[in-house]
Structure 1
Amino acid sequence: MSEPFTVPYTVPISTYRVQLTPDFGFAEVAALAPYLRDLGVSHVYLSPILQAEPESRHGYDVTDHSRIRAEFGGIEGLRALSATLSEHGLGVIADIVPNHMTVPVPESGNAALWSVLKDGQASPYASWFDIDWTGGKVNMPVIGDDTEPVADGDVLRYHDHAFPFPDTHYRLVDWRQGPGYRRFFDVSSLIGLRVEDPEVFDATHEVILGLVEEGVVDGLRVDHPDGLAEPRGYLSRLRAVSGVWTVAEKILIGSERLPADWDCDGTTGYEVLNRITRLFVDPAGSKPLVELFVTHTGMPHDYATVVRRSKREVIDLFFAAEVDRLHAAVGGDRETLVELLIAMPVYRAYVVPGEPVPEVSASIVEAAGQVAAARLPEGAPVAETVDRVLRGPADAVVRFQQLCGPVMAKGVEDTALYRWYPLACLNEVGGEPGHFGGTVDEFHAFAREMSPTTMTTLSTHDTKRSEDVRARLAVLSELPEEWAAAVGEWSAKVSFDPALDYLAWQNLMAAWPIGPDRFFGYLFKAAREAKTSISWAAPDPAYEVGLRGFVTRAIDECGASVAEFAAGIEPYARSNSLGQKLVQLMLPGVPDLYWGNEITDFSLVDPDNRRPVDFPLRRQLFAGEGGFPWDEAKLAVTTQALNLRRRLDPASPYVPLEAGEHVVAFARGERAVAVATRLPVGLARRGGWGSEAIMLPHGTWHDLLTGVEYTGRIPLAHLLSTYPVALLEGE
């Protein structure tokens, strides 16, 4: 028997992410308590709860760290929610935002920032913000036309903006110009905080830590730690003063792993999401789908080429001021520095000024240097630049680390992934769309190394597509010829922008049924992110009109055919949906369920995935009052798996079970077995399971989905006759 899994704080069994809004606050969450308890989760995971812009639908635009958000019910509403949840055996996880605050409109909405704009470096809040005080004034990018700012008493007004008057300590500049402060990616309305300063840390965390001490909050999710000056130091300080379960929103790519010296319990699970998605994608679909994509779009075959071009473009478009500030700290050749940023394959290498450079960190940056050298003129000072960003002055090291993330996020997440999409289910945060599929053995090897405390997920508020949209898209990897024929038919009827049309057809089918407003909203955002025809900074009203026409015609003229195609692949998509859900919920770690995804959800990127959830429908289904068969099956898998997790030792080892290519199966210690169908089209084409069987571990096993008992060697045709998955509990 293994030793019991123990840590000096409570680790959630599972979490349920809720998106708080002015229309859905603490009281509305409290009303869900009985439902969530019966669903099987142990903790409710709240989106940011500190005071933000009053109309904010996400809460990451914090304006005041001293208050719980009034629109949700304030501190008393949160305490009441905690008490109600506790009565039902549920706890609270809070999402915190240490990296930035908002620059609101009017700017007086952020009192700390207003003080800095008014009094400059003499302000008691001057140390809060990561400001470049070169020249004595901070650039505020707001000017967008020929209108002159107007003095109004002690306020300077420009349209809806307001600044202290006179303008002694700031400078209003064109909105396209880089600001005089570190921002969140390219978002000038979010100003970077200096939480590395102990006084700033204490002031911005006082309320949250008070709630932890009070027992209202049981755990923390840290937003975007890569933006901080020193993530390791921040997490160490946070753990020392909070002492609760903590996960970090860290995007891991490929073989990258969470730094071993981070004092947290794991990530928010994007690396798990991407591994699970690939498990249900057929590698054989790679060549025909890439060819189909290239034919329709004219884009390169090579994803890496698109990434390189995209990073170059976003640096030129958005990050000139940041590169200038970094160049001033690093010195040397600016173009060499730019090429090094472009070549970085991850969000950050984690070098701490004044400490020996970790071998893995040095190897990442040095390898990027070799890639950069191949693109630069002979004699470019690559080695010197690499050495400066690894071992140079503290400002050079930190600024380089902090700029790598924005270049990756804007160049890859928000540009390349909207340009290169042969199979869009692979285009997820941290995903590698050029890497089709994965073997069961590779997945088992990954899962065996997973921590029992890290978070796992399939959908989040930031995913490009919900899990069930990805489940449908994964089927296309097994049906490239049928998909090519369908797209050919639709494209012959309706076309608009070659760089966008093929993405449109994938998402129209995978999110079906979807109305014109939702579909247009998604495509308009996708077009602006891709930046091939329009962008956020370069709108084109004529393009917008044309896109609306495309959306209307695509749905009106091709909607029936799209619906027919979606219906035709439904058995396979349903299999993928249930399979990936079961795998995620039964892996080691703390499974997170994004609100509403206990049944089918066909949402696209935000804000589409932050729409209100129909909880009355979910309660009705939970009560067994009919519904869509896919919904019923997904709810059954979710509920049974979450409740089984309550009876399962979180440290139960992951034990792969031998099965054929169309199955992924594993045991969790001696208590649970999960079996899921994969690549269901290929399975059907070969005539089903035939004589294939699976040997269960010793003992008697009860299928929680069907009620049937099994022992020994079981034919898969029997085990998976009702559902494409099986969840077995040992007796």
Structure 2
Amino acid sequence: MTSTYRVQLTPDFGFAQAASLVGYLRELGVGRLYLSPILQACPDSQHGYDVTDHGRVREEFGGEEGLRALAAEGMPLVSDIVPNHMTVPVPESDNAQLWAALRDGPGSPASRWFDFQWPVTLPLLGDDADEALRVDDGVDGRVLRYHDHAFPIRPGTEHLPLPELLEAQHYRLAHWRESPGYRRFFDVSSLMGLRVEDPEVFEATHAVTFRLIEEGLIHGLRVDHPDGLADPRGYLRWLRPHVPGPLWVEKILIDGERLPEDWPCDGTTGYDALNMVTRLFVDPAGRDALIETFGRHTGVRDDYETVRHDAKKHVLDLFFTGEVDRLTDDLGDPALREAVVELLAAMPVYRAYVNPGEQPSAASEATIQEAAALAATRTDPAAVAKVADLVLYGPPEAVTRFQQTCGPVMAKGVEDTALYRWYPLACLNEVGGEPDRFGVSAAEFHEFCAGLPPRTMTTLSTHDTKRSEDVRARLAVLSEMPEEWAMAVDSWAAAVSFDPKLDYLAWQSLMAAWPISLDRFTGYLLKAAREAKTAISWLNPDPAYEDGIRDFARRAMDACGYSVAAFTEVVDRYARVNSLGQKAVQLLMPGIPDVYQGNEITDFSLVDPDNRRPVDFERRRRLLAEPDDSWDGQKIRVTAAALGLRRRLDPEAPYAPVEAGEHAVAFSRGVPGQGTAAVVVATRLPVGLERKGGWGSETITLPPGRWRDLLTGAEHTGEVRMADLLSAYPVAILEG
């Protein structure tokens, strides 16, 4: 296992299209092809996380026959799996387990699949419910219909008049703004939580996946959102014996947090590495000036922690009243509700991993107590202390539900709200990132690498990142030129303005994603405004405000596009250095590197769906065959050199820092003379390097032995002048 390459399967890009890439990926140096979810989902789904049937490989991709043909190409496959939830499709009859549970009620074997409160509240009715509800013949006999929705009628109630029939069902149709009567994925009521802690549900939902592994078609798994499960550790203990190959979890670690040591998996999907690598190329000296410019333009003077708390409180009130009510009921005291809310808002991480009936670990207990100490400053300390004790040692349902609620509050409150409200330097506003932590030193990076599991995944871009690696590479440059940035954005804002809380993010995004179409730019701003929830949200649209966004986007590009392009051209002299440096570092640091589709050359994408657009693989094939000296040509050459070296390098090769001065980061992998060894040298903080006159007489001392630069063919040994080592590229990838 040396590396992975992630592709997003869609109805237009299925197994056959993936198979056509295998030859190219092999030439690029890729070790394994990493697929988005492959089980049957909604027919038009562009992502596959809305699974409808665990018993089938997705037909739109080519079905199991297509998967077998892909596997026959000879590149081992890794598959993304979705154990936490299934979709509530339209019509609902497309999910056979959900249909059976709603029809037959709590006594149904299918009801064990879902975390229901009976009767199950289904929030989907609009204001026309009285006119649109009807009963007619359909799937499996008489069916209750509402527009395109279909619901089973409880046997024996078919003859009742509509009002009485509705009352007699095992479910309750409710207005779409109500909280659902089931655990869901975050705030998405169309994704219904699964109870894979039930052995029968576990077996049923994994049978096809396990068979594909046993037959050698799938060689590894990526587990989506394990924090949503009742017992992530227990789930992984059941899963691991079935997965002899790599097993990664999409676990979001907050600054300094590590994966629980008792999880039987190879590591995370790499957001921790992504954020650390990004910070390595950010200059902390720009912090104060960038925060001042952000505050001046947006009017936001609060620090990030205040914004973060307010955002979590906002989403708790907006999305999670039902979840808080259920948790408070489990605790057995309605008077504790405010303390529950404040404790959830104060949680510093996605989950503390407390299991009912077990003594909490010291780390878990410390996390809860840390949150309780903060929450106690905001409401009744005695109530907070009681809630903290109950979620550590109280009723099993309360302990588990608190753990399962923390993640959604964190994801929606931080990832999808706070990060759109506080953004002095938006490259830091990434999943699992801390936007007020401006930069890390090379020493801090080395310390982080020393603690990484050898087979954890590393990455720079994913289908869920807020912005692609090269967008972040451009934004990182602003940390080195905050005064020039302030002058530029001042001039643009003077020419075109709309909403101060959105405009400053718009200017960062326009510059960093340039050139970008008006449709892409507008789509991003609409999503950003809805996520920020300061003027509109997904639940509370405002057509006039949204028209204002569209007008702002058009005027910004018309009036300032030339100036933005000119500024970006200056930034790109340094962003190229950051881009190539972070790529070389990520591909050769400890862990198994992943390349997200297309990012072997530059990609200036924003948040999904922008980062899931079709990839021009033909252009990448041509560049790989004949790389030029463009940014794209250099990036694919760096990628291919690093991935090729990974094929020869032991995944557990020792990591050691190499002293490289202020404007570089360097490390070695392996031991010279004992198999393949590598040294990576990457330029960092290139603006500052230029301002001090370049490398001058600065040198680097390489580990013993002769080293060949895979990018230039030059050979080096001992003490080498940095100006010579990095004369052709801002990075060196050395093999010895």
Rounded to whole Å, the distance in 1 between the matches of 2:46 and 2:261 is: 35
Counterpart position of 1:7: none
| 1:415-474 deviation digits (Å, cap 9, x = unpaired) | 000000000000000000011011110001111121211000000000000000000000
Q: What amino acid sits opposite 2:559 in the alignment?
A: E
| 1:380-435 deviation digits (Å, cap 9, x = unpaired) | 32222111000111101000000000000000000000000000000000000011
Counterpart position of 2:94: 109
Structure 2 residue aligned with 1:164, among 138, 147, 152? 152
Are the equivalent residues in 2 in contact too, given 1:106–1:160 (CA < 8 A)? yes
Rounded to whole Å, the distance in 2 between the matches of 1:174 and 1:92 is: 43
Is the aligned partner of 1:372 residue 2:375? yes
Alignment of 1:576-725 (within 5 A): 576-624=578-626, 626=628, 629-669=630-670, 670=672, 671-725=677-731
Counterpart position of 1:150: 134
Rounded to whole Å, the distance in 2 between the matches of 1:647 and 1:528 is: 47
Structure 2 residue aligned with 1:344, among 344, 347, 356? 347
TM-score scaled to structure 2, two decimals? 0.96
Counterpart position of 2:158: none
Alignment of 1:361-400 (within 5 A): 361-377=364-380, 380-400=382-402
Are the equivalent residues in 2 in contact too, given 1:211–1:217 (CA < 8 A)? yes
Counterpart position of 2:465: 463
Rounded to whole Å, the distance in 1 between the matches of 2:625 and 2:679 is: 26
Rounded to whole Å, the distance in 1 between the matches of 2:128 and 2:622 is: 57
Are the equivalent residues in 1 in contact too, given 2:52–2:95 (CA < 8 A)? yes
Are the equivalent residues in 2 in contact too, given 1:300–1:306 (CA < 8 A)? no
> Which secondary structure state, in structure 1, belongs to the residue aligned with residue 191 of structure 2?
strand
1:623 positional shift:
1.4
Q: What amino acid sits opposite 2:701 in the alignment?
A: M
1:122 positional shift:
2.8
Counterpart position of 1:5: none
Rounded to whole Å, the distance in 2 between the matches of 1:383 and 1:563 is: 55
Q: What amino acid sits opposite 2:83 in the alignment?
A: P
Q: What amino acid sits opposite 2:203 in the alignment?
A: D
Counterpart position of 2:160: none
Alignment of 1:118-137 (within 5 A): 118-133=103-118, 137=119
Q: What amino acid sits opposite 2:475 in the alignment?
A: L
| 1:463-503 deviation digits (Å, cap 9, x = unpaired) | 00000000000000000000001101111111011110000
Counterpart position of 2:121: 139
Q: What amino acid sits opposite 1:617 in the alignment?
A: R
Rounded to whole Å, the distance in 1 between the matches of 2:136 and 2:300 is: 53
1:147 positional shift:
3.3
Q: What amino acid sits opposite 1:151 in the alignment?
A: V
> Which secondary structure state, in structure 2, belongs to the residue aligned with residue 537 of structure 1?
coil
> Which secondary structure state, in structure 1, belongs to the residue aligned with residue 264 of structure 2?
coil
Pairwise CA RMSD of aligned residues? 0.9
Alignment of 1:204-353 (within 5 A): 204-332=205-333, 333-353=336-356
Which stretches of structure 1, 4 residues or longer, exceed 4 Å deviation after superposition? none
Q: What amino acid sits opposite 1:123 in the alignment?
A: S
1:241 positional shift:
2.7
Are the equivalent residues in 1 in contact too, given 2:627–2:636 (CA < 8 A)? no
Rounded to whole Å, the distance in 1 between the matches of 2:178 and 2:689 is: 56
1:569 positional shift:
1.3
Are the equivalent residues in 1 in contact too, given 2:466–2:606 (CA < 8 A)? yes
Unaligned runs of 5+ in 1: 1-11
Rounded to whole Å, the distance in 1 between the matches of 2:387 and 2:14 is: 50
> Which secondary structure state, in structure 1, belongs to the residue aligned with residue 267 of structure 2?
coil
Counterpart position of 2:29: 40
Counterpart position of 2:156: none
Q: What amino acid sits opposite 2:384 in the alignment?
A: V
Rounded to whole Å, the distance in 2 between the matches of 1:290 and 1:66 is: 52
Are the equivalent residues in 2 in contact too, given 1:464–1:604 (CA < 8 A)? yes
> Which secondary structure state, in structure 2, belongs to the residue aligned with residue 126 of structure 1?
helix
Rounded to whole Å, the distance in 1 between the matches of 2:242 and 2:485 is: 54
Counterpart position of 1:70: 59
Are the equivalent residues in 2 in contact too, given 1:290–1:301 (CA < 8 A)? no
Rounded to whole Å, the distance in 2 between the matches of 1:241 and 1:77 is: 23
Rounded to whole Å, the distance in 2 between the matches of 1:43 and 1:382 is: 48
> Which secondary structure state, in structure 2, belongs to the residue aligned with residue 641 of structure 1?
helix
| 1:197-223 deviation digits (Å, cap 9, x = unpaired) | 000000000000000000000000000
Counterpart position of 2:733: 727
1:301 positional shift:
3.7
Greater Cα offset, 159-168 or 686-695: 159-168
Are the equivalent residues in 2 in contact too, given 1:448–1:653 (CA < 8 A)? no
1:625 positional shift:
6.4
Rounded to whole Å, the distance in 1 between the matches of 2:107 and 2:329 is: 25
Instruction: Tell me: CA distance 1:625–1:360, structure 2 relative to 1, closer, same or farther (3 Å).
Output: closer
Structure 1 residue aligned with 2:498, among 496, 499, 502? 496
1:541 positional shift:
0.5
Are the equivalent residues in 2 in contact too, given 1:20–1:46 (CA < 8 A)? yes
Is the aligned partner of 1:54 residue 2:65? no
Rounded to whole Å, the distance in 1 between the matches of 2:398 and 2:512 is: 45
1:108 positional shift:
1.1
1:68 positional shift:
0.3
Q: What amino acid sits opposite 2:116 in the alignment?
A: I
1:116 positional shift:
1.1
Are the equivalent residues in 1 in contact too, given 2:627–2:634 (CA < 8 A)? no
Q: What amino acid sits opposite 2:241 in the alignment?
A: A
| 1:170-226 deviation digits (Å, cap 9, x = unpaired) | 100011111000000000000000000000000000000000000000000000000
Q: What amino acid sits opposite 2:297 in the alignment?
A: H
Are the equivalent residues in 2 in contact too, given 1:22–1:55 (CA < 8 A)? yes
Q: What amino acid sits opposite 2:368 in the alignment?
A: V
Rounded to whole Å, the distance in 2 between the matches of 1:244 and 1:684 is: 46
> Which secondary structure state, in structure 2, belongs to the residue aligned with residue 697 of structure 1?
strand
Structure 1 residue aligned with 2:7, among 9, 12, 18? 18
Are the equivalent residues in 2 in contact too, given 1:336–1:380 (CA < 8 A)? no
Greater Cα offset, 290-299 or 368-377: 368-377
Rounded to whole Å, the distance in 2 between the matches of 1:182 and 1:252 is: 23
TM-score scaled to structure 1, two decimals? 0.96
